[in-house]
Structure 1
Amino acid sequence: MNLSYDSVVFMNPLKVRRDKKHYIVENEATGEFYEMPEVCISAIELINEKKSLYEVENALIVRYPDEIIDILDFVSQLLELNLISELNGKQILIDSGQKNHPGLIWIPENLGRFLFNTISSKLYFLLLVASAGLILFNPNLFPRYSDLFMFDLMLLNILAVMLIGFFLVIIHEFGHVLAVRSEGLPAKIEVGNRLFFVVLETDMSQVWKLPAEKRNKLFLAGMNFDIVVLFLALAAQFIASENTLTMALLKLIVLNTFIRLVFQTAVFMKTDLYYVIENKTGCYNLMENGRNFLAKWLPFLSVPETETFDGEEKFVRRYAYFYLAGILLTFAITAYYYIPQIMFAVNEIMLPGFLEPITSIRFWDSVVFLLQIVLVLGLLLYSWSKKYRFSS
């Protein structure tokens, strides 16, 4: 479509909210959100007043003498973002495929508010302190790698780890879901990935409807539920008998939950604490901006361009170096530790097991081990393909 200063432009219905540094613009037709500086909001307001693009540009030049104003370029960006409904009398079709599904709206808002409020936030913190106190009081409660092995048979260990891990992850994600519902917003749980780690994740894109001071409650909700599980599993060990299946189960729960909490500190991936940092600093698209900064030297890290606003460059640079160090460390640990472990298990457990008769327990031990690998790889490929489809 030809775009000129004489063009007539009509915007889609938008909701504009003041944020920490700039403004959050919601496209009501698609349910998508964008961060924009004040000059862009002023341009949208002038366009909505049915002024010509020539008049809009001149008005902005007077109002913002220190800004570089190019209204044609800005309107071109609005077109790409599906924020324009009509140009020169022609309707523009809007791709609403990304609009959020209603999600788990059947969950009562009151239940979410009961579990996530000012008092409960303090309680979750106290439970974290209490958990640390229990471990200091009895160092034997600290999780160990050997806690993975509840049984002598590997098949049973694999099943136990998978089932308990899945159950605890669901608890974590329902923490996010309930916190989102406490604000009357929809949420749904999806399969995603962090690098090559398969994860379940809660779609919380609608949190941008909330002011910044309310978002951290939603981001930290999963960790808060993890803290409750950790405290209960630690406390229960004081009354459980040693060398019993119950004690082994409690130790596995503590190890799994502890690892998940530590994982959240890996903010070079988009963990819960990463979003807390974004929200605290007001530097959104932090990872994308950091990767594009590094792409000057490492082009393969480049992602679709996002804007770094004034004052964010220093923080983005620091995060970029931390991101690169974290990625390199993750790959190094994987190459040195995890891959050799998997190869050892394949050579010593899986392959010999397939040489056993089909009636042998070792044969079925190998079958379950192989199915676990196939399941994880399948979910990883699915999450990658989904991410590619949405970004293309």
Structure 2
Amino acid sequence: MRRDRDEWIVGRTATRTFVALPAAGARAVELLRQGLGVAATAEVLRAETGEEFDVADFVTDLAALGFVARIGDRTLSDTEPPRASLPWLRPHHVRFALHPALPVLVGALLAAAVAVLVRRPDLLPGYRDLLWSPHGSLVLLAGAAAGWALLYAHELAHLVTARAAGVPGRMRLGTRLQFLVMQTDISGIEPAPRRHRLTAYLAGIALNLSVAAVLVPVLAVTGPGTTAHRLLAAALLIALLPLPFQCMVFTRTDLYFVLQDLTGCRDLYGDGLAYARYVARRAVRLAPAAGKAAAGTPDGTAGGTADPSLRLPPHERRAVRLYSAVLVVGTAACLAFMAAVTLPADLTLLIRAARGLGPGHGLAGNADSAAVLLTLGGVNLLWLHTWWRGHRARRAAARP
């Protein structure tokens, strides 16, 4: 349990189920945990607040969430907790991840790297650094290997930091619009202190920045034009490339969870999506053809549909409405870029690679084509598989 403004965050870390309760609800949970029965809990709440509470219905709701172990002599069945990644990793193994000195160390590494770049601006990476070899197959395969290794390390940083806070955590593949991502579910971090929560959210970004900061001075002492220098420059760029993606908060990146925490919103994405849909429906109903009869009423309704943001506290309402605009514009821009650039480029490369296979193209030509098909085609097939698996899971969860 953790107090958050006028509410309390209450839940179970093992099942990663958390809810926001008013003060009276949190007090009821506390009394029930002490062993008081339903009637006794209701009596204490009446004496403390002067109000009547239906504690029996409240207990029923808690039981549906898996928060109740026993009612009388009857033991309730428990839901199986989600499987954790690296279950052998214990909090005491990784307690260092929450040490206050760690952010200072990361800051010192970044400061040193910036100082080197100020003296040696020629070390700033550019897209040509990725093309470290004239053989496209080598560039693709090495880039894919380095990118996935760094991605795993990024998510491992989230897992380690959350585990240090006592949260199991689970790493798995997922999709964000047209992007294939690896994500770490650290649900259960909600009752932790804010410093621990923000550290867990930002651990992946800190890992990328730390890797880049270490590579900069190493790159500075490596001979320009050598293979080692070219490989280090490519690794530096690969470490930095995921960081702009983190600014796309409309895809629920690491910075999205930081934003959600700082604004005090419970479900910034879900509430923002609901508000965007409400605005879209209202715009359709208020179109000139619909006439003035469809105009919204003072209570925030439009054609019988209530504004979902009105049920939120004022500070959440403002954040949700602003985020909904970012969500709509960002999603539209991403999908438009995919349709205009990414998809045509991928199809062109795949078609060229397919045509480049055969006895008339030599060993090098066939190797390059096979590498493109394996790398690019494999990523797209993995995206489709991951998206379909997530879609089926969401449909199964929505069934009554």
TM over 0.5: yes
Match of 1:345 in 2: 349
Distance 1:371 1:298, change over 3 A: farther
Match of 2:185 in 1: 203
In the alignment, which of 298, 309, 312 is matched to residue 308 of structure 1?
Answer: 312
Match of 1:134 in 2: 116
Q: Which structure dedicates a bigger proportion of its chain to helix? A: 2
8 Å CA contact 1:241, 1:247 repeated in 2: yes
Match of 2:303 in 1: none
In the alignment, which of 308, 319, 323 is matched to residue 319 of structure 1?
Answer: 323
Once residues 215 and 188 of structure 1 are traced to their aligned partners in structure 2, the CA distance between those partners, rounded to angstroms, is: 16
In the alignment, which of 379, 382, 385 is matched to residue 379 of structure 1?
Answer: 382
Cα offsets for 1:219-256 (capped at 9, x unmatched) = 11111111111012221111112222211211111111
In the alignment, which of 6, 19, 24 is matched to residue 34 of structure 1?
Answer: 19
Once residues 163 and 74 of structure 2 are traced to their aligned partners in structure 1, the CA distance between those partners, rounded to angstroms, is: 39
29-38 vs 221-230, greater mean Cα deviation: 29-38
Once residues 184 and 91 of structure 1 are traced to their aligned partners in structure 2, the CA distance between those partners, rounded to angstroms, is: 26
Measure how far apart 1:206 and its partner are. Answer: 2.7
Once residues 387 and 54 of structure 2 are traced to their aligned partners in structure 1, the CA distance between those partners, rounded to angstroms, is: 37
Structure 2: state its 5+ residue gaps. Answer: 282-307
Structure 1: state its 5+ residue gaps. Answer: 1-15, 300-304
Once residues 44 and 372 of structure 1 are traced to their aligned partners in structure 2, the CA distance between those partners, rounded to angstroms, is: 53
Secondary structure (helix, strand or coil) at the match of 2:320 reads helix
Match of 1:81 in 2: 65
Percentage of pairs with the same residue? 26
Secondary structure (helix, strand or coil) at the match of 1:236 reads helix
Mapped pair 1:149 → 2:152: no
AA of the residue aligned to 2:269: M
Match of 2:82 in 1: 100
Over aligned residue pairs, what C-alpha RMSD do you find? 3.5
AA of the residue aligned to 2:37: K
8 Å CA contact 2:123, 2:220 repeated in 1: no
Match of 1:17 in 2: 2
Q: How many residues align?
A: 366
Cα offsets for 1:318-340 (capped at 9, x unmatched) = 11111112112212222233223
Distance 1:30 1:123, change over 3 A: closer
Distance 1:147 1:212, change over 3 A: same
8 Å CA contact 2:113, 2:213 repeated in 1: yes
**What TM-score does the superposition give when structure 1 sets the normalisation length?**
0.79
**What TM-score does the superposition give when structure 2 sets the normalisation length?**
0.78
Measure how far apart 1:88 and its partner are. Answer: 11
After the TM superposition, which residues 1-392 of structure 1 pair with which residues of structure 2 at under 5 Å, given as runs? Answer: 16-27=1-12, 30-42=15-27, 44=29, 49-51=36-38, 59=46, 63=50, 78=62, 80-83=64-67, 93-94=77-78, 96-97=79-80, 99-107=81-89, 109=91, 112-298=94-280, 308-347=312-351, 349-357=352-360, 360-388=363-391, 389=393, 391-392=397-398
Distance 1:382 1:40, change over 3 A: farther
AA of the residue aligned to 2:337: I
Greater RCO (Cα-Cα under 8 Å, separation 6 or more): 2
8 Å CA contact 1:134, 1:235 repeated in 2: yes
